[in-house]
Each structure stands twice: as structure tokens, then as C-alpha cells.
Amino acid sequence: MSFCLSLILFINIFNPKPEEMSFYDFKMKTIEGKEISLSEFKGKKVLVVNVASECGFTPQYEDLQNLHEAYGDKIVVLGFPANNFGGQEPGSNLAIQQFCTAKFGVTFQMFEKISVLGKDRAPLYAWLEKESGKAPNWNFCKYLIDEKGKVIAFFPSSVNPLDEAITGTL
């Protein structure tokens, strides 16, 4: 019995609850399968975007790349492929990577395909929703994270990555 109580206490102390976590506590797998800590992005603003290859907003990849190239010293763009909306990201990680490179010359950091909604959503997206009060309602929704790891804005799909609402914060 005392072992069980000790174990529960240990887990609660050393395994923070999602509401106690920060952006920097998450680890995610890149599209190549390498796990990285989001703490690598401390001190920079970060734009987190759920992306899809077969969406009407897919051309935003070009502007995400332009944002990355023009403001890369001030903001990090992170793309998270997701198939939650209309089945518009059906491909494998390799197919997604090849598409993004060939069609849009994407060099910003892409991650493995994840779920951004529902029971199986990635813990990062559960945290983003809790912190912002908004869940993605389509592909290419954007969360802006400040230099301290706090969510400071949510932008729907209709807001272009180069919109003043985003670039004006840099």
C-alpha cells in the first residue's frame, strides 16, 4: 500500500498535468521520425500550423515558406500534417514531405502526421486548445506562441501567414 502511494506521489510530482505544462515541455517527432523537444525553440516566437496537402488552403504552404525565409530570425514555423478535416491529408509522412518539397520548396520544420481533434488528438493540440480556448476548425489554423512559450493568438485558416495580424507581432 505504501509503495502504491509513493508511486502515485512520484508520478504527480514528476509528471506535470497538461494545465501545468508549457509549450517547451512537449516532444514531437519530425516528419523524418526524429524526436525533438520543442524547448529547442525557446526565445523565439513560434507559429504552429495544422497542414494538409489536398485542401483549398494548401497554397498557404508557399506563404508559410515565405514567412520562414523572411522572418526566420524572429519566428519559427512548425507544420503538423493532420487528416482530421475532410480526409485532406491522406498520404504517408514520406508522401507529405515529398509533396511539400517538390510543390512549395518547404524548408521549415515539418512533423509527423498527427490528429489535432478528438480522443486521439496529440497532447500538444489538447494543450493549445486549453491555453487559447480555440480548437482548430479546419486545416491551416495557426497558433502563435511567444518567446516564453505562451499562446498569444489563434488565427483561423482564412488568415494568411503573411497577414499583418501575424507579421505585425514580429
Query: At which residue does the C-alpha cell 525565409 appear?
Result: 69
> 22-167 falls under which CATH superfamily?
Glutaredoxin (3.40.30.10)
CA 108 to chain centre: 12
Average pLDDT of the residues of the chain: 91
Q: Is the confidence at residue 30, as pLDDT, over 70?
A: yes
What per-residue confidence (pLDDT) applies to 1?
52
For the chain, give every domain's residue range: 22-167
- Nearest to residue 153, comparing CAs of 136, 166, 163? 166
Residue 25 — very low, low, confident or very high, per pLDDT cuts 50/70/90?
A: very high
Element counts in the chain: helices (H) and strands (E): 5, 7
Catalytic residues: 55
Whole-number pLDDT of residue 21:
80
Instruction: State the pTM of this model.
Output: 0.88
Q: What would the pLDDT profile of 35-49 be if each residue is shown by its tens digit?
A: 999 999 999 999 999
Q: What is the pLDDT of residue 90?
A: 95
Element (H, E) at 84: none
Taking residues 145-149, report their average pLDDT.
Answer: 96
5 confidence band (pLDDT: 50, 70, 90): very low
Measure CA 63 to chain center: 16
Q: Which residue is it, cell 480556448? A: 133
* Residue-wise DSSP of 10-69: HHHHHS--GGG--GGG-EEEBTTS-EEEGGGGTTSEEEEEEE-TTSTTTTHHHHHHHHHH
